[in-house]
Chain A
Amino acid sequence: MHRKSVINRVLLALTGILVLGTALLVLAGGFDLYRRLRLSAPAGRPLTTPQDVLLDDADRTRWTDEIWWWPTVIAVLAVAILLALWWFLAQLRRTHPGDLSVGDPARDGVELREGALSDAMAADAGHLPGVRRARARVDGSSRRPEAHIDLTLTPDAEPGQALQALCDGPLKRARQTVARTLPATTRLRATPHKPHRAQ
């Protein structure tokens, strides 16, 4: 799994646990579950009776006279905003391997731009039998580039054969060019068409 996916999922899970935990605390108090189920709430747990309020004035203003309170509030909010913006912007970024070395051992002074490699793979895959349209993209780091290939098949093409042809042709040539294993992710689609009845 990719690093971005792991980070996203961990942060989503933490947010979910925080939101769900707060909600359950409020609901347990609101529906008076502690008394109905004859549970004793642990000492110090807030919001245990239906008459409690979420945040009374005494709690809200408890520390407002302390000298450290407002700077702390402002700092915490600012950090939260920065982290959230960083998380948001990370979703818009794509990784780029940049220039790739060519051949094994790498030839001095010869570098292949990632765009040129994607172009070559897309053009190469577009000529395979059964492929109507091909798109390719290379991302990852320059040490571990990854290819993403998107093929639209004609209605009579077979997915297994198309993959075999892709692997033996364009993908193999690209791997030999950059002299790396070049992991590939392929997505196969079909164009929608009307059904034809058997004669």
Chain B
Amino acid sequence: MERDHRPSAEKDQLPAVDGVTSRTVGLLTEQPPTTGPQSISRRPWSERRIPAALTALAVAAAAGTLLADVIRVRAGQSAAAWRRHLADELASRPLDDSAIQAGGAVLAALGLWLIVLALTPGLRHRLPLKTPDAQMHAVLDRKAAELRMRDAAMRVPGVSAARVRFSRRHATARADVRFRAPADVRADVRTSLLQELDRLALAHRPSLRVRVRPRRH
């Protein structure tokens, strides 16, 4: 069940929602806020729902088609053309036939991919954060982190355009410099981005690389 709340739409929907809030809050006793030790979020593991659903559907479709035809033949009708064709091909093509080799290569890649999906965490576009509470896990979308880092780089005087990319271990910033000496701008961008990385509170702090390009008109 997904619930949604936009402060901008407060006027229309709030009576109902606020009623719930005040009833819930009314049951509480106030306590002073506590700041527990910082805990590190582990990286979240994907449930792999989409690959699982696709694999399940593929197995069900293949088995279903075969079962339907087996039952048709049991009921006295003749086998479908695709089944006779498939039996002929399987019985006539030797293993060094290029179609069989290509099929084998595709199947090997597919099998390897499924194993990789099963063993890796996934969710590479979410960066785990430090959280104030061990019972809470938090992630920051990679896009959001890149946006904030870009904004931080753009605040440095002399930068006319900036782009920041996060990978697993590195944050790479590229900035175009319109005025001032590129080396100075690079040092300022570096300081500004390091501060911003501190503010992001990432659980695994990436190393920072900064590249600047002079762009004068």
Complex contacts, B140 vs chain A, CB 8 Å: 159, 188
Chain A residues with CB under 8 Å of B3's CB are 115, 118-119, 121-122, 135-137
With contacts A5-B46, A26-B104, A195-B162 taken as known, whether A120 is within 8 angstroms of B24 at the C-beta atoms is yes
Interface string of A169-195 (1 = CB under 8 A from B): 001111011000111111111101101
The 0/1 profile, CB within 8 Å of B marked 1, for residues 1-36 of chain A is 110110011111101111111111011011110000
Query: Contact partner of A74 among B71, B87, B103, B143, CB < 8 A?
Result: B71
Indicate whether A192 sits within 8 Å of B147 (C-beta atoms), given known contacts A77-B66, A133-B6, A187-B141: yes
| B160 in contact (CB, < 8 A) | yes
Q: Which residues of A contact B34 (CB under 8 A)?
A: 168
- Contact with B113, one of A16, A138, A189, A193 (Cβ below 8 angstroms): A16
B155 on interface, CB distance cutoff 8 Å: yes
CB distance from A23 to the nearest CB of B (A): 4
Given A19-B111, A167-B132, A186-B138, A88 and B56 contact (CB-CB distance below 8 Å):
yes
Chain A residue with the shortest CB-CB distance to B111: A20
Instruction: Tell whether A8 pairs with B48 under 8 Å between CB atoms, given A53-B92, A123-B5, A155-B147.
Output: yes
Interface of B is mostly: helix
B201 proximal to A (CB < 8 A): yes
Set A20, A137, A188: member contacting B112, Cβ < 8 A: A20
Kindly identify which residue among B52, B103, B112 contacts A8, using a CB–CB cutoff of 8 Å: B52
- Which single residue of chain B is at the shortest CB-CB distance from A2? B47
What is the bound-complex CA distance between A56 and B25, given in angstroms? 73
Residues of A within 8 A of B91 (CB): 53-57, 60
Residues of chain B from 115 to 144 with CB closer than 8 A to chain A in the complex = 115-119, 126, 129-133, 135-141, 143-144
- B74 close to A (CB within 8 Å): yes
Query: Is A73 interfacial (CB 8 A cutoff)?
Result: yes
Q: Which of B164-186 contact A (CB under 8 A)?
A: none
Known: A23-B107, A88-B53, A123-B17. A160 touches B199 (CB 8 A): yes
List, in ascending order, chain A residues with CB within 8 A of B105's CB: 23, 27
- Minimum Cβ distance to chain A for residue B66 (Å): 6
- Residues B132 and A112 in contact, CB atoms below 8 Å apart: no
A163-B131, A183-B136, A189-B144 are known contacts. Are A17 and B111 too (CB-CB below 8 A)? Answer: yes
Nearest neighbor of B14 in chain A, beta-carbon distance: A123
Chain A interface mostly = helix
Contact across chains for B27 and A103 when beta carbons are under 8 A apart: yes
Quick check: B129 and A159 within 8 Å, CB to CB? Answer: yes
Select the residue from A116, A133, A136, A159 with max chain B CB neighbours within 10 A.
A159
CB contact between A173 and one of B7, B28, B108, B135 (< 8 Å): that residue: B28
Known: A120-B24, A183-B136. A16 touches B112 (CB 8 A): yes
Task: Specify the chain A residue showing the minimal Cβ separation from B153.
Answer: A195
Query: A193 contacts which chain B residues (CB < 8 A)?
Result: 147
Instruction: Tell me if B81 is interfacial: C-beta within 8 Å of chain A.
Output: no
Assess the B60–A88 pair: CB atoms within 8 A: yes
Q: Cα distance A124–B67 when bound, in Å?
A: 54
Q: Take A123-B17, A183-B135 as given contacts and tell me if A190 and B141 are in contact as well, using a CB distance cutoff of 8 Å.
A: yes
Contacts of A127 in B (CB 8 A): 7
B87 to chain A, nearest CB (A): 6
Contact at A87–B52, with CB atoms within 8 Å?
yes
Partner of A55 from the list B51, B87, B110, B132 (CB cut-off 8 Å) is B87
Is there an interface contact between A114 and B5, defined as CB atoms closer than 8 Å?
no
Task: From the candidates A12, A78, A122, A176, name the one contacting B52 in the complex (CB within 8 A).
Answer: A12
Are A5 and B59 interface neighbours, CB within 8 A?
no
Closest CB pairs A-B (n = 4): A20-B111, A16-B114, A19-B111, A190-B144
